Structure 1
Amino acid sequence: MPLRGRGWQGFLVFLRYQCYYEYPLLTYLEYPILIAQDIVLLLCVFHFHGNVYRAAPYIALFVASWFVLALQRWIMDLAMNLCTFISAASKFAQLQYLWKTRDSGAVSTLTWVLASYTCVTRIITTLMTTNDLTILVRFVVMLALNLWVTATVLRYRKTVVKAE
């Protein structure tokens, strides 16, 4: 039972990247909380499916990843760049689906606006604190794609006609 849609691997890579380069704690404080939230969610899912021990491989993978990421600088940088690529591919897949169906009824415009806003604030805080080019590129790419998805959602939004 893989975890889908949460991105705990991305949270882990981003947290480890920021720890590895010794960036200020306030620039990545939410990632430990998000990871803990995902671990609790994972344990709850396995608990309610009757087998908590099936979570052990995921937790082992998490712990092993934490140490493997910091073995070499190139591993850390590669993992961060792959996370950016995977996130971009995910947003592009969303765009393709919207173009294909020409229906954005199941997509929240507010969610994409908030995602765009988050990227803008991350760009600003990164410029003010670390000026890390890898992180800046990540958030600029994510901002562009979030805005593109938002525009596509607005374009294919159906107007509701009220009956009198």
Structure 2
Amino acid sequence: MYQNISNLLSIVTIGACFVQKIPQILILKKKKKTNGISLTSLLLDLFSYTVMTSYNYINQYSLLSYMEYPVILFEQMIFLYFVLKCDDRIDAFAVVAAFCYLLFTVCLITERIPAIVLTFLIPMCTPISASSKIVQLIAIIQTKNGTSISLLTWLLSAFTNITRIFTIWIDSSDILLLANYTVSAVLSSTIMFFAQYYKRQTKVD
């Protein structure tokens, strides 16, 4: 019974992740402003998603238990591109950095970089993921502007993290993954709250 519920939640989670970043990307394309969006946060998330995807893939976990990571990773790349484009920061350095990132990713999933490296990297994902969200939260608070932030994106983020806590518990009970999803769920909810708060403040002003 629990396994059936877990499988259903996994499908729902993956479905939600297919559209998770789209509202944020659409807002960015419309406003062409990155107010309240932290580039540092995006890069930290990119690293975290990459490591998590590679870790699950190398350990041959059920695809349903982590498929949202490659999906979100792809969306994150698109989101990052638009942020860089809006800030006019697509230059030679960005191209070289992108190439180095792709090379690093390929080496991880093909185990050109020994799999044991992922064992050391995966515990870092929770603090890195938490840091990225804290940085994003600070950016919103410092700018006092949440107009460029998609509430739906962060709502979906919190929702998928919560569902993953259950599915991972049923599927593998991996403590590292459970900790990562729990922290992410709390911080995603916090970002959504502050973004909504400053959106309302902006309307009042």
Q: What TM-score, normalized by structure 1, do the two folds share? A: 0.71
TM-superposition CA deviations, 1:32-76 (whole Å, max 9, x none)? 55567759x99xxxxxx9xxx967544432222332250x2xx32
Cα distance, 1:25–1:101 mapped onto 2, change above 3 Å: closer
* Larger RCO (CA under 8 A, 6+ residues apart): 2
TM-superposition CA deviations, 1:67-118 (whole Å, max 9, x none)? 2250x2xx32321122222221111111112222322222122211111111
Any idea what SS the aligned residue of 2:196 has? Answer: helix
Cα distance, 1:35–1:90 mapped onto 2, change above 3 Å: closer
Is this contact kept in 2: 1:104–1:158, CA < 8 A? no
Q: Larger helix proportion, structure 1 or 2?
A: 2
**1:45 aligned residue:** none
**1:46 aligned residue:** none
CA distance in 1, matches of 2:138, 2:161: 22
CA distance in 1, matches of 2:191, 2:99: 36
CA distance in 2, matches of 1:10, 1:140: 15
Spell out the pairing of 1:36-47 with structure 2 (5 A cutoff).
Answer: none
- One-letter code aligned to 2:160: T
CA distance in 2, matches of 1:130, 1:9: 23
CA distance in 2, matches of 1:60, 1:131: 31
* Pairs aligned (count): 150
**2:8 aligned residue:** none
Match of 2:107 among 59, 64, 67: 64
**2:154 aligned residue:** 112
Is this contact kept in 2: 1:88–1:142, CA < 8 A? yes
Any idea what SS the aligned residue of 1:5 has? Answer: helix
Any idea what SS the aligned residue of 2:163 has? Answer: helix
Is this contact kept in 2: 1:13–1:80, CA < 8 A? yes
Give structure 1 stretches of 5+ with no counterpart. Answer: 43-48
- One-letter code aligned to 1:103: N
CA distance in 2, matches of 1:98, 1:8: 19
**2:163 aligned residue:** 121
TM-superposition CA deviations, 1:3-34 (whole Å, max 9, x none)? x9375543332122123333222212344555
**What CA RMSD, in Å, does the superposition of the two structures yield over aligned residues?**
3.5
Structure exhibiting the larger radius of gyration computed from Cα positions? 1
Cα distance, 1:110–1:31 mapped onto 2, change above 3 Å: closer
CA distance in 2, matches of 1:138, 1:65: 20
Match of 2:188 among 146, 155, 159: 146
Any idea what SS the aligned residue of 2:201 has? Answer: coil
Moved more, 130-139 or 101-110: 101-110
Shift of 1:122: 1.0
Q: What TM-score, normalized by structure 2, do the two folds share? A: 0.58
Identity percentage over the alignment? Answer: 30
Give structure 2 stretches of 5+ with no counterpart. Answer: 1-40, 82-90
- One-letter code aligned to 1:80: I
Is this contact kept in 1: 2:42–2:132, CA < 8 A? no
Is this contact kept in 2: 1:13–1:69, CA < 8 A? no
